[in-house]
Amino acid sequence: MSLSGRFCLRCGKPETLENPLIEGLCLECFLKERSLVRLPDRVALTRCPACGSIYLKGTWLHFSGGVRDALQHYLRALKKPVVSPNLTEIDVEVLGIHKGEAELLVKSCFKGRSAEQRVVIRYEVINRLCPKCLGVKVKDYNAVLQVRFAGSPSRELTNEVVRTLTSDREISGSITDYEELQEGIDVKFSIASVARQAAMHLRNSLGGYLTESWKLHGLVKGKRHSKLFVVLRIPVFTSGDLIDSRGVLLEVLNVKEERVTVRRLSDGKLLNLSIKSLVKDGFRQLSRDDYVTTECLVTEALGREAVMVCEDGTTAKWETARPLKAGDRVSALTYKDVRYIKIR
Ligand SMILES: [Zn+2]
Ligand SMILES: [Zn+2]
């Protein structure tokens, strides 16, 4: 029996003391259709990569937790437009963050009943040194670490650089400036040896090759003063990527520190190359639009020559990297009008 004579507009359940209506709906239907709180679909969190402080409502707030905690703090501090005055004790918990998406648990209380809702929003972390970290240190730096990417880096990769730099206390304590530029990331250090250590640290986790140079930076008290420049070039490719190095098509198998193992697709040969030489030769990373692939069935084979029928309708005889037999299945890849047979 409904006390008020009102019913849920969706499921028709009558309103009772235990089941009060909110905006004309029972709580279950409300949670299915509406949001407990209006949150932006996308938030940008400005955070200091050196000390973890976050920028909130026009000021910097000292904060020592990681990105998840910082995001939670940020969301809790956001002024959330009230959906219904009957919803009280609103709280937001960040359950997890992954690749720019945050899963939230929004909790509230409605006339004595607790209500929960899971929401996914997109977030972005903008790295900016806070005035405290900048002010104290910006005046003197003795080394610059320049992280450069061969190819365009994803936000994930840039964040990984920041994570690696800030995970070490000695490294993060020596950072005097951090700047994301079109061409990469510049990080200034007060201690030259720490800059070198940071570069090695990054190279060990992300691969790449290092170069070092000292540049004269004026006279200090009559003495020549130089600054150390360390450049780390990080390749933006991983296992399975295809690259064109001077017209030679290579499949990346493994990247380790300064070296990369590739398979030359023209003859299936494995090569171990230095990333330095690859960068020097000006390689190009292929995107999915650069080539087409098709699956083929070997119908006849003699030595390294095999006749194949492919799903794209072609039938032809190809020379392959190693002998095949009738019945073998291979994939073929066409790039710049040349067909390559991929054999594992
Ligand atoms: Zn209902
Ligand atoms: Zn800071």
Which ligand is nearest to the Cα of residue 177, counting in written order? Answer: 2
* Nearby residues for ligand 1 (ion, Cβ within 5 Å): 8, 10-11, 13, 26, 29
* Nearby residues for ligand 2 (ion, Cβ within 5 Å): 48, 50-51, 53, 130, 133
CA dihedral 25, 27, 28, 31 (to 10 degrees): 90
Q: What percent of the chain has pLDDT over 90?
A: 28
Pairing of strands 284-285, 143-150: unpaired
Crossing angle (nearest 10°) for helices 192-206 and 155-166: 130
Structure tokens at 18: 């235990």
8 Å CB contact between 22 and 29: no
Q: DSSP character for 22?
A: B
Q: How far is the CA of 131 from the centre of ligand 2 (A)?
A: 7
For the domain made up of 242-285, give the CATH fold: SH3 type barrels. (2.30.30)
pLDDT in tens, 300-334: 988 888 899 999 888 888 888 778 889 999 888 99
Q: How far is the CA of 158 from the centre of ligand 1 (A)?
A: 46
Q: How far is the CA of 59 from the centre of ligand 1 (A)?
A: 44
pLDDT in tens, 239-275: 888 999 999 999 999 888 778 899 999 888 899 998 8
Residue 1, pLDDT > 60, answer no
State the chain's mean pLDDT as an integer.
85
pLDDT in tens, 100-124: 899 999 998 888 888 899 999 999 8
Structure tokens at 281: 């030769």
pLDDT in tens, 43-96: 999 988 888 899 988 888 888 888 999 999 999 888 667 777 778 888 899 999
Q: Give the class (CATH, top level) of 291-342.
A: mainly beta
Token pair 């990297």 is at which residue? 321
Which ligand is nearest to the Cα of residue 12, counting in written order? Answer: 1
